[in-house]
Amino acid sequence: MFDKENIRVRYLRTLEKIRSFLLAKKSREFLIFLFFVFVSFSFWLLQVLNDDYETELSVPLRMKNVPENVVLTSDLPTELRIGVKDRGTVLVNYLLGQTLYPVTLDFEEYTDKGSQVRIPAVTLSKRIASQLNQSTKLSTIKPDTLELIYTRGQGKKVPVKLRGEVKAERQFYISNVVYSPDSVMVYAPKEILDTITSAYTEELYIEEISDTTRRRAKLMPVKGAKFTPSYDDVTFLVDMYSEKTVDVPVQGINFPGDAVLRTFPAKVQVTFQIGLSQFKNVTADDFVVVVDYKKLHENTGDKCKPILVQSPSIVNHVRLSPQEIEYIIEQKITFND
């Protein structure tokens, strides 16, 4: 570590070395040479930039006051490319400093001209020229014509659905997918609107998530249709698997009225995986384990396999223990008066 005195000494030594270098004869001659080079370059640059040049600039293009039920079936450009001519000093200012503001079209100005309108870009020249210097000449506008094609569609609400695949890490699972909003409005001509039943997100592929994850996804476009909004916030709720075991009684089905099933044991263990958030909500009553009388005739011994015929949809990897149980069939004895 350097103390303050050592730092001061090093600073003074470095300063002295720089001073000695700059005051040296060869150094002075080199610095004088660089100064004149810089002055010469400056005069040359000013002379060059004083000449007239042409260049191309970009002007953003916007459309306002478009009703929700209007579907634009033509793709308006997002910008106009304009050719301008002026002195180099002015053009450098456009390229490096001055920002051109968007040119905005008002949809309401064209509603009485039909559903297909051609707008000559020249009509926008006054709006563009007002942003330029008086000395600047506007020579070209690309594209030279804007085409506005639209239709007033009917609307309906459709649910949002996910396209893609989302996977959780091992020992985790996606417990729910929440869409915000869960449905959107779609506007289109009737013949197109009748074919749309859902709004699908762009394809999402996410792997190995272990916590709640949220993504904003654009809705897949449909030609001739307009979704409002055009995006959706999708949230994937993640839960951790846990294992649980419950004792479920074995029931007999399809037995004759005078036959009674006895199994040993009378209950089997049902083991399954379930999310921690649902752990307490699943009990033995949610499962049904049976022995089918019709299948007992296939047995050659005194054991049979219990069958799980009902389980909650939120459980996974269900297994029974034991997989085979002993059984006997008893006949009911009835007494006649």
Q: Which tokens go with 337?
A: 């008066």
pLDDT in tens, 248-272: 999 988 888 888 888 999 999 999 9
Cβ partners under 8 Å of residue 264, min gap 6: 325, 326, 327
Q: What is the pLDDT of residue 42?
A: 54
First to last CA, the chain: 112
Q: What is the DSSP letter of 221?
A: P
d(CA 168, CA 209): 5
Q: DSSP of 139-160, one letter per residue?
A: EEEESSEEEEEEEE-EEEEEEE
Pairwise CA distance, residues 193 & 196, whole Å: 5
Letter for the amino acid at 268?
A: V
Q: How many helices (H) and strands (E) does the chain have?
A: 6, 21
DSSP conformation class of 54: E
Which residue positions in the chain have pLDDT lower than 50? 1, 49
The tokens for 202 are 């762009």
Q: What are 112-144's pLDDT values in tens digits?
A: 888 788 888 778 888 888 888 878 888 888 888
Ramachandran bin of 171, using left for φ above 0, alpha for ψ from -120 to 50, beta for the remaining angles: left
Structure tokens that stand for 223 in this block: 């030609």
Q: What is the pLDDT of residue 1?
A: 47
Place of tokens 């080079």: 37
Does the CA dihedral 277-280-286-289 come out positive or negative? positive
The pLDDT score that the predictor gives to residue 249 is 95
Q: 108-129 burial string, b = 16+ CB within 10 Å, else e?
A: eeeeeeeeebebebeebeeebe
Written as six digits, the tokens of 12 are 């003074």
Asked if the peptide bond before residue 181 counts as cis, ω within 30 degrees of 0, the response is yes
Strands lying side by side in the sheet with 259-264: 259-264, 325-331, 303-304
> What torsion do the CA atoms of 8, 12, 18, 19 make, to the nearest 10 degrees?
150
What is the value of pTM for the model shown?
A: 0.56
Backbone angles phi, psi at 41, to 5 degrees: -65, -40
